[in-house]
Amino acid sequence: MVGLMPPVEGLLHSAEQFDQAVNRVARASLGGTGSQDTVDLSAAAVALLQSRNSFDANTKVVKTADEMDQTLVNMVT
């Protein structure tokens, strides 16, 4: 991901964290018996909320940057 804007990298990272948390919850609901299959659902819920909040924050950064660019273009033209 070299060369991407930090907010875009943050969006991708948040999406990856969300997918991982969802997969942990899905594996837990399948009733795994091994110790590695056991998941703390409260920790998974926190991870889901954190990834959602991070995604929202990065989305706002991208939106603000777009608005700033548009303002600059309007000032130049």
pLDDT 10s digits, 5-49: 788 888 999 999 999 988 888 877 666 555 454 557 888 888 899
Output the CA torsion sign for 60, 66, 70, 72.
positive
- For residue 30, the model assigns a pLDDT of 67
Nearest-angstrom CA–CA distance, 20 and 2: 22
Backbone angles phi, psi at 20, to 5 degrees: -65, -45
pLDDT band at 1 (very low <50, low <70, confident <90, very high): very low
Residue 16: predicted pLDDT: 92
Please state, in angstroms and rounded to a whole number, the distance separating the CA atoms of residues 61 and 10: 10
Give the 3-state secondary structure of 52-70. HHHHHHHHHHHHHHHHHHH
pTM summary value: 0.69
Domain ranges of the chain: 6-76
